Amino acid sequence: MAYKMSNYKNKLMQLLKENDVIKFGDFTLSSGKKSNYYVDMKKAITEPEILECAANMITQQIEDKNIDKIAGPALGAVPIATATSLISKKPMLMIRKEKKSYGTSKQIEGELNPGDNVIIVEDVTTTGGSLLKAINVIEDNGGNIIQAYVIVDRQEGAKETFEEKEIELKPLLTISEFKEYLNCNE
């Protein structure tokens, strides 16, 4: 019997807690904004168990869909895309922040064919702006974004941003769910 999604979600929350990925206190985010918590996803995406759990959750959700490629913007999403590619047996794409200024001058590594159905993955999202840039690169190169997956949604506007673009954002976990989990397991 396949591992149920709710079991994976509980395991993901447990692993994030055990690895101290979501920290509470006073933090300044990369945007300059102040926050009372910090999601240290770079720490998470270097842990094999967390990657495997996230990749299994994503693979379960896409296995009945007609997906050709798994895409991840550099740097944080590349391990997630790699793990999901290995489990789902779907080829992956790496999206650079900008075109290389040397060699082949590619912004997409991996083979994106016109009309390919693509899911895009990310480690954490706040407003969704950086993920939308990667989505635009894929669409500008002929790919169809089917869904976007993020390990942790900070719930600060990304879902609404994606709804405007008519792309479904599927967080594996929201910050509210994690806080609720902590309150129930302390």
Kind and range of the H or E run holding 5: helix 5-18
Domain definitions of the chain by residue range? 5-184
25 is in an annotated binding site: no
Give the number of other CB atoms < 10 A from CB of residue 171.
Answer: 20
> For residue 3, what pLDDT band results from cuts at 50, 70 and 90?
low
pLDDT value at residue 100: 58
Count other Cβ atoms within 10 Å, centred on residue 138.
22
Does the annotation flag 123 for ligand binding? yes
129 is in an annotated binding site: yes
pLDDT tens-place string over residues 85-143: 999 999 999 999 876 555 556 899 999 999 999 999 999 998 888 899 999 999 999 99
Residue 6 is labelled as binding a ligand? no
Judge whether 64 is annotated as a binding position.
Answer: no
pLDDT tens digits for 140-179? Answer: 999 999 999 999 999 999 999 999 989 999 999 999 999 9
- 179 has binding-site annotation: no
- CATH entry, 5-184, from 3.40.50.300, 3.40.50.720, 3.40.50.2020, 3.90.1150.10: 3.40.50.2020
127 is in an annotated binding site: yes
pLDDT of residue 105: 62
Q: Is 122 annotated as a binding residue?
A: yes
> Would the annotation count 72 as a binding residue?
no
Query: Burial code of 67-101, b = ≥16 C-beta within 10 A, e = fewer?
Result: bbbbbbbeebbbbbbbbbbebbebebbbbeeeeee
Q: For residue 11, what are its two tokens?
A: 């395991």
111/26 Cα distance (integer angstroms):
42
Q: Nearest CA to 43 among 22, 74, 27?
A: 22
Q: State pLDDT tens for residues 16-53.
A: 999 999 999 999 877 788 999 999 988 899 999 999 99
Residue 34 marked ligand-binding: no
Confirm or deny that 85 is annotated as ligand binding: no
